[in-house]
Structure 1
Amino acid sequence: MSEEEQKKPAAKAKKEKPPAVEDKPFPEFMEGHYVPALQTALQEQGIEDLQLQFVNGKFPPSLKIAEECPQVKGSWLGGRRQFTVYFPGEDIKGPKFFSWAADGTQPSSIEGFLGDERRINLDLLVFGVVQRLNAQKWLALN
Structure 2
Amino acid sequence: MTDETTPTTPTSEAKPAAKKEKPPAIEDKPFTEFMEQHFTPALKQELNKQGLKDVELSFVKEKVSISGANSDDSCWQVIGTWKSGQRQFKLYFPEENINGQKAFSYGLNGKIPSTIESFMIDERKTTLDLMLLYTLQRLNGQKWLTRN
TM-score scaled by length of structure 2 = 0.88
What RMSD in Å do the two structures reach over aligned CA positions? 1.5
What's the counterpart of residue 88 of structure 1? 94
The alpha-carbon deviation at position 14 of structure 1 amounts to 1.2
Unaligned runs of 5+ in 2: 1-8
Residue 105 of structure 2 aligns to a residue whose secondary structure is strand
What are the within-5 Å matches in structure 2 for residues 125-136 of structure 1?
125-136=131-142
Residue 35 of structure 1 aligns to a residue whose secondary structure is helix
What are the within-5 Å matches in structure 2 for residues 35-114 of structure 1?
35-62=40-67, 63-114=69-120
- Residue type at the aligned position of 2:26: V
What's the counterpart of residue 10 of structure 1? 15
The alpha-carbon deviation at position 10 of structure 1 amounts to 2.5
Q: Calculate percent identity across the aligned residue pairs.
A: 50
Q: Number of aligned pairs?
A: 138
Larger gyration radius, structure 1 or structure 2 = 2
Residue 101 of structure 2 aligns to a residue whose secondary structure is coil
- Residue type at the aligned position of 2:64: F
1:124 maps onto 2:127 in alignment:
no
Greater helix content = 1
Q: Given the alignment, which residue of 32, 39, 51 partners 1:34?
A: 39
TM-score scaled by length of structure 1 = 0.92
- Moved runs in structure 1, 4+ residues, more than 2 A? none
* Cα distance in structure 2, aligned partners of 1:61 and 1:128: 21
